[in-house]
């Protein structure tokens, strides 16, 4: 470790060395934007996982890994002559100042986080209009590569900015029931697999909408439920193991009873 190991310039220079055609790392040299994307997404989820686990030492490491992904992409862009890491920093600094005029400008202060969220979306809408005054539709630049739940949420939020939205959670809940009934009807009437998938997709989309109206992050809610499922299922595994039995030797009713006991003990 060098004395300047805390300097971002050191990380940028390490990345340049890894990508050096003469003496660099063969794996790093073989990568491109597309091949690195899965790692970038994975690192973002590992950050989320460390936060969920309250693993602060792990979070420090995962944030470093995510920062490295940014430096990696910036280095490849610099090699193409389109931008470099300093340009990335300049862009986000300029954006943050522009989107917080109540902090850095002469605009009156914003009273709440909710008001700031509204102002933020208004600034983003103006920026989209400036970038493409006549070309793109309102939803066109919502990234396709986002996880489906996250993308559904962004699509709904964007549509809501022009008033295309339910007026209450109760109305959305009615729609949830309607979509669930349509799945039942599709299965009963012998609908094709594609048609059933479409109905399930509709239900998931409305569930995301319900979460939004109730101010719940659907991605976070599902991630928490996944963790809860793992925790309770582990109790089933452990209980059966203590009995000298395997999972495939237990009846569903037995596993369900252990599950309910695990649920009650939480």
Domain boundaries, the chain: 8-99, 220-265
At residue 1, the pLDDT reads: 47
Render pLDDT for 136-169 as a digit per residue (tens, 0 to 9). Answer: 788 888 888 788 898 999 999 989 988 999 999 9
Instruction: Tell me the per-residue pLDDT of 60-78, one tens digit each, with 9 for 90 and over.
Output: 999 999 999 999 999 999 9
Backbone angles phi, psi at 163, to 5 degrees: 90, 5
CATH superfamily of 8-99: MazG-like (1.10.287.1080)
Average pLDDT score, the chain: 89
Tokens representing 83?
A: 């931008």
The separation between CA 149 and the C-alpha centre of its own chain, rounded to angstroms, equals 8
CA distance linking residue 147 with residue 225, whole number of Å = 17
Distances (CA, A) of 256 to 106, 236, 263: 61, 9, 10
Higher model confidence: residue 162 or residue 177? Answer: 177
Secondary structure element (H or E) that encloses residue 208, with its range: helix 193-213
- Global pTM reads 0.65
Q: Taking 80 as the threshold, does the pLDDT of residue 112 lie above it?
A: no
Residue 122 has pLDDT above 90, yes or no: no
Distance of CA 164 to the CA centre of its chain: 23
Q: What tens digit of pLDDT does each residue of 1-56 get?
A: 456 788 999 999 999 999 999 999 999 999 999 999 989 989 998 998 899 889 99
> 168 by DSSP, 3-state: which?
coil
C-alpha dist (Å) from residue 239 to 82, 247, 255:
58, 10, 9
The burial class, CB within 10 Å (0-12 / 13-18 / 19+), for 105 is exposed
The per-residue pLDDT for range 234-263, each reduced to its tens digit, is 999 999 999 999 999 999 999 999 999 999
138 vs 188: which has the higher pLDDT: 188
């Amino acid at each position: 470790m060098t004395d300047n190991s805390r300097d971002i310039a050191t990380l940028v220079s390490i990345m340049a060395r890894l990508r050096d055609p003469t003496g660099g790392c063969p794996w790093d040299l073989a990568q491109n934007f597309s091949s690195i994307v899965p790692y970038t997404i994975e690192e973002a989820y590992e950050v989320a996982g460390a936060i969920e686990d309250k693993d602060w030492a792990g979070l420090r490491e995962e944030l470093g890994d995510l920062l490295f992904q940014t430096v990696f992409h910036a280095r490849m862009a610099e090699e193409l002559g389109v931008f470099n890491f300093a340009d990335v920093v300049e862009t986000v600094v300029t954006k943050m100042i522009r989107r917080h005029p109540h902090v850095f400008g002469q605009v009156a202060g914003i009273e709440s986080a909710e008001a700031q969220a509204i102002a933020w979306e208004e600034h983003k809408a103006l920026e989209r209009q400036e970038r493409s005054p006549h070309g793109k539709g309102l939803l066109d630049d919502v990234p396709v590569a986002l996880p489906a739940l996250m993308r559904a949420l962004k699509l709904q939020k964007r549509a809501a900015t022009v008033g295309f939205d339910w007026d209450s959670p109760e109305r959305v809940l009615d729609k949830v029931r309607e979509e669930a009934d349509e799945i039942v009807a599709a299965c009963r009437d012998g609908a094709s697999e594609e048609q059933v998938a479409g109905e399930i997709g509709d239900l998931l989309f409305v569930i995301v909408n319900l979460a939004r109206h109730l101010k719940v992050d659907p991605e976070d809610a599902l991630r928490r439920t996944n963790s809860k499922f793992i925790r309770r299922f582990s109790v089933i595994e452990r209980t059966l193991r203590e009995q000298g039995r395997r999972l495939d030797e237990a009846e569903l009713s037995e596993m369900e009873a252990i599950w309910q006991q695990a649920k009650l003990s939480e």
